[in-house]
Amino acid sequence: MKYSYNLAFVCFVAACATSEGATEEGAGDVDTQNAEPNAADVGQTDQAASGEFSIPEPYVTTGGSSTASVMTSLAGAGLQLDGGFEPASYVVASYPVITGAMRVTADFTVNAAPGASFTYLLRGTGGGYSSRYVRVQRVPGSDALQAVGTNGAVACGTLVSGQPTPVTLVFDGAARTLDVRIAGAPSACTGVPTRTSGPVTGLRVNDETLQGYGGHVELTNLSLSPSP
């Protein structure tokens, strides 16, 4: 089943997103902290026999000409972004996944068109932006997948356009480190220090409001599981 969100602005909860402006990570992110459900309201997320946490349908907000389509299949949850390139266009898709886990492995497969950009974030429990989100991104004008850590953005490796590529993040909320694997292989982003605090409480996919962000991006096989 596929659900299409193509209104100028969609709110699945009473509070809508507001612009946070540029963060210390350099993102023009639309902050939906107030639009995301509280952990106490969501409760602990169920786990499958495999150990993976269940991925719910996301809370989605859009602006401008950007649209998002939520996809589900036997392979797992997915999201298709068609981002407008004007600054007023954006998508924020938030998946509340209350894991209770300090160390998690997040997997997804990304197929980004040439020139397309996106961000993927794991949500922790810190009070500020940099202590609340672990961020990986492909920015305008680059085909590299980057991880944003304590010391800024680190180029992990090439994310080939027009080709489905598996990506794995291993986040340790106790040690506050992030490892990124691309197509199953270790990348230059190994042991990247972060300020993010665990445990993990969800994930997000964004088409940012910054000039140049946009394009067609498909993220499939979204999964989240505890790490040993």
Q: Using one digit for the tens of pLDDT, what is the confidence trace for 188-211?
A: 999 999 999 899 999 999 999 998
**pLDDT at residue number 95:** 96
pLDDT digits (tens, 9 = 90+) for 142-199: 999 999 999 999 999 999 999 999 999 999 999 999 999 999 999 999 999 999 989 9
- Residue 107 near residue 167, CB atoms below 8 Å: yes
Structure tokens at 181: 């694997």
Cα separation of 107 and 104, whole Å? 10
29: Cβ–Cβ under 8 A, 6 or more apart, which residues?
A: 20, 23, 119, 129, 206, 208, 209
Output the pTM of the full model.
0.82
| CA 143 from centre of chain | 17
- Beta-bridge partner residues of 137: 119, 146
Strands (E), the chain: 2-5, 18-22, 28-31, 59-63, 67-73, 76-83, 90-96, 103-112, 118-123, 133-138, 144-149, 152-158, 165-172, 177-182, 185-186, 192-193, 202-207, 215-226
Confidence of residue 4 (pLDDT cuts 50, 70, 90): very low
Q: Which domains does the chain have, with CATH numbers?
A: 2-226 (2.60.120.560)
